């Protein structure tokens, strides 16, 4: 999804700690100085999580650095921000989140046609042995690619 626009932030830790089962693209409600700061690439979603509250979706822990020239117009960098989704999608997500072990994680923040978009994923937590298996698969894939490269030289 981010191929069409400029990637601002990526959450690699979410892919390491969770199985991502579904992805959703959402808009985000921001103030002017926050958008200017995002255009400069000053955003972090490593500690962020998404929560549904009273039929609305909010992202918590997303850090957008204050804009240097924003003075009094700057907002709190860690304030909760509303994500913009259709009511049907929100109701579907809240039903899926009621199952044990599921959570919503922000995966990417990017620009798409001049608008800031957040890609969130319905995620299920990994166990330690799942993480070890993923690391082993990556190592094995790297070895095969290295052998293939040596053979084709």
Please tell me the predicted confidence (pLDDT) of residue 77: 74
In this structure, are strands 81-84 and 49-53 parallel, antiparallel, or unpaired? unpaired
pTM: 0.74
How much is the average pLDDT of 19-31? Answer: 88
- 59-70, pLDDT tens digit by residue? 998 888 887 776
Domains in the chain: how many in total? 1
Return the structure tokens found at 148: 């293939």
Residue 131 scores a pLDDT above 80: no
Domain assignment present for residue 140? The answer is no
Domain assignment present for residue 106? The answer is yes
- 29-64, pLDDT tens digit by residue? 888 788 888 888 888 888 888 888 888 999 998 888
Domain assignment present for residue 139? The answer is no
Domain of 114: which CATH number? 2.40.280.10
**C-alpha dist (Å) from residue 58 to 27, 49, 53, 105, 127:** 11, 9, 7, 11, 27
Residue 2 scores a pLDDT above 60: no
Please tell me the predicted confidence (pLDDT) of residue 26: 92
């Amino acid at each position: 999804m981010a191929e069409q626009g400029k990637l601002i932030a990526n959450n690699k830790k979410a892919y390491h700690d969770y199985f991502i089962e579904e992805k959703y693209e959402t808009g985000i409600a921001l103030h002017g100085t926050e958008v200017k700061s995002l255009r400069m690439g000053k955003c972090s979603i490593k500690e962020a999580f998404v929560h549904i509250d009273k039929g609305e979706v909010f992202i918590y822990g997303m850090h957008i650095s204050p804009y240097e020239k924003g003075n009094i117009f700057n907002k709190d960098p860690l304030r909760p921000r509303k994500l913009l989704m259709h009511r049907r999608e929100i109701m579907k997500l809240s039903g899926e989140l009621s199952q044990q072990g599921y959570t919503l994680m922000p995966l990417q923040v990017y620009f798409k046609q001049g608008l800031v978009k957040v890609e969130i994923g319905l995620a299920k937590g990994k166990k330690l042995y799942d993480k070890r298996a993923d690391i082993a698969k990556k190592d094995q894939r790297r070895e095969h690619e290295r052998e293939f490269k040596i053979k084709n030289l």
